[in-house]
């Protein structure tokens, strides 16, 4: 009896092993057949079954890895993440053709599971179609009304610089990590436009919000986000940073909702104090109309998007600027000499001074180029079949424009890997913008906060150089390495800020 049971167990065990082996082979074979590159599709590295090229992607230096792959597969190549294909674009000519010449075919954002859960397809940055068109148009017109590109906003920025300068002076030249101070200062400009007020630097609730933004943007670019977007049904059930990300954005939206509720308590439909007031008026005006996209949920997402677009890139660029000035003191001295000659020590800078400060303007642009703040921009998606670089890209393919490949292209820049303000100066020493300078991307999905960022960067940077000298603590070298995320931020550092 025992012998019969042993024989039966052996065959059952063998059959289970065979079945398991068959299932694995079947799944792998089906995956390879289903996910073969279409005819005429761009080439790329071989993808693993099921997960595709998720592990080809280097989380610590994504844009550099993509430039390496471009040297093997060309400026237009493909990667597969889970079951979805994407196409990576490298080089100025390729990206210009895609985002400008054929931009209408790639104006959409892809529908990614994690972003869809956070945004619900609302807001400005991730939305598509009528929602995107209506919300972007309203945001730009409303922010313009409140000083976007006008001198009235200059006073707000310069007043915020005064608060920021006092905060730095309080450290009495001792080493300080500028991260939260700068984030608070830049975010206060958006707060002024959106909420109608600023937050003090010691406000713990607002400081926590700034830290949440920073953490969220790191997770957004991590492998956890990629796994979630590739296998949402499974990842929803598993713990990990992707769950933390949803919680963070939930907390940020709760913060915005509190501000919204305070506005509603004393809202007067005839008064336009800030963006929220104007949006509440728009909700009332469009109520019941066909195709209306204005409601409170969309308002909350739009405010969140304005924070990301209008503060993160600028604050990160300013943090890079302090490092570059400390690393190249001779450049810092040249900037200060030009500012002293043109503006002096007592007069506040204004945007009118920009034309007379070509070297300072060139340094700001070189910081943006070398800082490479948003190397992969945000992904696009094809809304119809398009021909690009000799390849056929079907509808619904995720497009990754590698802006870093343009900002460091040796065909476009004399010394692409060196910090050289001369890239933006002609032989006469006058400022000269380069066509390949696209740190804010290009086309219809150009960064919403670009104009605000340009004004902020010029006024903040010029004011800092007018009043302070930046240097590393004794015995410490400036480390120019980055921490990868949606934006490339400098690794945490401390710096000495000496009043002039």
The pLDDT tens digits along the chain (500 residues) read 555 455 445 444 556 666 566 555 655 555 555 567 778 999 999 888 888 888 888 888 999 999 999 999 999 999 999 889 999 999 999 999 999 999 999 999 999 999 999 999 999 999 999 999 999 999 989 888 877 555 678 999 999 999 999 999 999 999 999 999 999 999 999 999 999 899 999 999 898 888 888 889 889 988 899 999 999 999 999 999 999 999 999 999 999 999 999 988 887 777 788 899 999 999 999 888 888 999 999 999 999 999 888 788 899 999 999 999 999 999 999 999 999 999 998 899 999 999 999 999 999 999 999 999 999 999 999 999 999 999 999 999 999 999 999 999 999 999 999 999 999 999 999 999 999 999 999 999 988 888 888 999 999 999 999 999 999 999 999 999 999 888 999 999 999 999 99
The CA angle 410-411-417, to the nearest 5 degrees, is: 15
Give CA–CA dist 311/93, Å, rounded.
30
Give CA–CA dist 293/132, Å, rounded.
9
Give CA–CA dist 201/205, Å, rounded.
10
Structure tokens belonging to residue 11 = 């065959």
Give CA–CA dist 155/10, Å, rounded.
83
Q: What is the pTM of this model?
A: 0.91
Task: Give CA separation, 193 vs 124, 140, 359, in Å.
Answer: 16, 12, 31
Which run of H or of E encompasses 223? helix 223-230
User: Among 314, 344, 310, which Cα is nearest to 465's?
Assistant: 344
DSSP bridge partners of 497: 470
12, with CB counted inside 10 A (0-12, 13-18, 19+), is exposed
Q: Which distant-in-sequence residues (6+ apart) come within 8 Å of 449 by Cβ? A: 306, 309, 310, 311, 313, 314
User: Among 63, 62, 66, which Cα is nearest to 77's?
Assistant: 66
Q: Which distant-in-sequence residues (6+ apart) come within 8 Å of 433 by Cβ? A: 365, 424
Residue 143, CA atoms < 13 Å, CB-side half-sphere: 26
Which run of H or of E encompasses 489? strand 489-490
- The SS3 assignment for 424 reads helix
DSSP bridge partners of 89: 76, 401
Structure tokens belonging to residue 483 = 């921490």
């Amino acid at each position: 009896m025992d012998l019969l049971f042993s024989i039966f167990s052996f065959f059952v065990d063998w059959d289970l092993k065979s079945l398991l082996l068959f299932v694995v082979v079947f799944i792998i074979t089906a995956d390879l057949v289903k996910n073969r590159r279409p005819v005429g599709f761009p080439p790329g590295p071989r993808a693993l079954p099921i997960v595709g090229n998720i592990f080809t992607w280097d989380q610590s230096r994504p844009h550099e890895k993509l430039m390496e792959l471009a040297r093997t597969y060309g400026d237009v190549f493909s990667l597969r993440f889970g079951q979805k294909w994407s196409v990576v674009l490298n080089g100025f000519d390729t990206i210009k053709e895609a985002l400008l010449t054929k931009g209408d075919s790639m104006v959409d954002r892809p529908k990614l599971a994690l972003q869809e859960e956070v945004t619900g397809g609302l807001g400005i940055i991730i939305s598509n179609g009528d929602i995107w068109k209506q919300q972007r148009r309203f945001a730009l017109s409303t922010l313009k009304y409140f000083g976007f590109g006008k001198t009235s906003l200059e006073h707000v920025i310069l007043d915020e610089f005064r608060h920021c300068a006092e905060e730095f002076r309080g450290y009495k030249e001792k080493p300080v990590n500028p991260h939260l101070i700068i984030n608070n200062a830049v975010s206060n400009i958006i707060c002024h436009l959106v909420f109608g007020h600023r937050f003090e630097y010691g406000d713990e609730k607002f400081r926590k919000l700034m830290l949440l933004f920073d953490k969220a943007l790191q997770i957004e670019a991590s492998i956890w986000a990629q796994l979630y977007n590739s296998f949402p049904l499974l990842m929803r059930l598993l713990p990990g940073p992707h769950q933390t990300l949803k919680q963070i954005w939930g907390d940020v939206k709760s913060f915005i909702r509190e501000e919204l509720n305070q506005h509603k308590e004393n809202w007067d439909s005839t008064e336009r104090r800030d963006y929220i007031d104007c949006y509440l008026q728009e909700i009332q005006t469009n109520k019941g109309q066909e195709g209306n996209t204005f409601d409170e949920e969309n308002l909350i997402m739009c405010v969140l998007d304005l924070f990301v677009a209008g503060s993160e890139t600028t604050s990160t660029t300013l943090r890079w600027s302090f490092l570059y000035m400390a690393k190249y003191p001779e450049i810092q001295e040249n900037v200060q000499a030009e500012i002293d000659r043109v503006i002096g020590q007592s007069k506040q800078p204004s945007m009118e001074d920009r034309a007379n400060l070509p070297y300072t303007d060139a340094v700001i642009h070189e910081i943006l180029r070398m800082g490479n703040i948003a190397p992969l921009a945000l992904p696009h998606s094809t809304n119809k079949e398009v021909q690009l670089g000799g390849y056929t890209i079907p509808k619904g393919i995720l497009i990754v424009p590698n802006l870093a490949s343009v900002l460091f292209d040796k065909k476009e820049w004399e010394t692409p890997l060196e910090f050289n303000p001369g890239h933006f100066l002609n032989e006469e020493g006058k400022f000269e913008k380069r066509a390949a300078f696209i740190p804010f991307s290009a086309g219809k999905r150009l960064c919403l906060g670009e104009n605000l960022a340009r004004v902020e960067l010029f006024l903040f940077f010029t004011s800092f150089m007018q009043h302070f000298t930046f240097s590393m603590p004794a015995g410490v070298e400036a480390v120019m390495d980055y921490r990868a995320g949606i934006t490339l931020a400098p690794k945490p550092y401390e710096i000495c800020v000496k009043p002039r």
